[in-house]
A = this chain, B = another copy of it.
Amino acid sequence: DFAQLDMHRGLRRGFPEVVFGQGKTAEQITQIVNRLSERNERVLVTRLSAEVYAQIREELPDDAVYHQRPRALVINRANLVCRPGILVACAGTADTPVAEEAALTAELMGNQVERLYDVGVAGLHRLLDKLPMLRQARVIVVAAGMEGALASVVSGLVDAPVIAVPTSVGYGASFHGLSALLAMLNSCSSGIAVVNIDNGFGAGAMAAMINRLDER
């Protein structure tokens, strides 16, 4: 069988198995979503291309919602009381799909999410103007491509942990996100940890996990 769904992941880890949409056939995704949807109130498929979605939309549960730019399919039947505390920031307009993937994920995991987009370091006042908003956050996700400097700058201003997501926005020597990734890993500010290039989902999930810690 092509998929051994990890059915007790919800119990063990607080959220059901998330489906990696890339590299699966349309049939595989349809089957997996339907099986998960029978047993879980929430389903998330990441990196699902618009083409595959178009092919399978009829066969999915009616309440499945597809988000175009972050390429995420979401089913949410849970009656969540959302916790405040997560801020998702990004450096440029081109980083918004990754930032949105993070925000959607964190919301589905039970959080209220503030968004602060297009506040890259080339025009620093856009960020400094929002210091109160930054300082109120309990966990901050920062998505940035190119030189990825926003993560260090934000972290230096606050005492909240920062989850940095390098994006593949850029060209030439950005090497598809490598420049931002290395910059974020080498931050001179502490309190930053990094997820994979373009991994908005991972950043959102990490932020959610951190934000709910005091529930334990």
Determine whether the beta carbon of B6 is less than 8 Å from that of A93.
no
A161 to chain B: closest CB distance in Å?
A: 5
Specify which chain B residues have a CB less than 8 angstroms from the CB of A24 in the assembled complex. Answer: 93-94
- As for how many copies of this chain the complex holds, the number is 8
**Nearest chain B residue, comparing its CB with the CB of A135:** B12
Determine whether the beta carbon of A184 is less than 8 Å from that of B152.
no
Counting contact residues on chain A (CB < 8 A from B), the size range is 35 or more
**Nearest chain B residue, comparing its CB with the CB of A12:** B159
A99 to chain B: closest CB distance in Å?
A: 10
Determine whether the beta carbon of B124 is less than 8 Å from that of A157.
yes
Q: Mark A169-189, 1 if CB is under 8 A from B, else 0.
A: 111111111111111111111
User: In the complex where A183-B182, A193-B163 touch, is A149 in contact with B158 (Cβ < 8 A)?
Assistant: no
User: In the complex where A24-B94, A121-B188, A179-B185 touch, is A196 in contact with B210 (Cβ < 8 A)?
Assistant: no
Does A156 lie at the interface of the complex (its beta carbon under 8 Å from any beta carbon of B)?
Answer: yes
Report the bound CA distance from A23 to B139 in whole Å: 27
Determine whether the beta carbon of A4 is less than 8 Å from that of B147.
no
26 A–B contacts, CB within 8 A, in A order: A2-B117, A6-B122, A8-B125, A22-B94, A92-B188, A121-B149, A122-B155, A138-B213, A138-B216, A147-B147, A147-B149, A160-B213, A161-B210, A166-B172, A171-B196, A171-B197, A171-B198, A171-B199, A172-B177, A173-B177, A173-B182, A174-B196, A182-B182, A191-B209, A192-B206, A213-B214
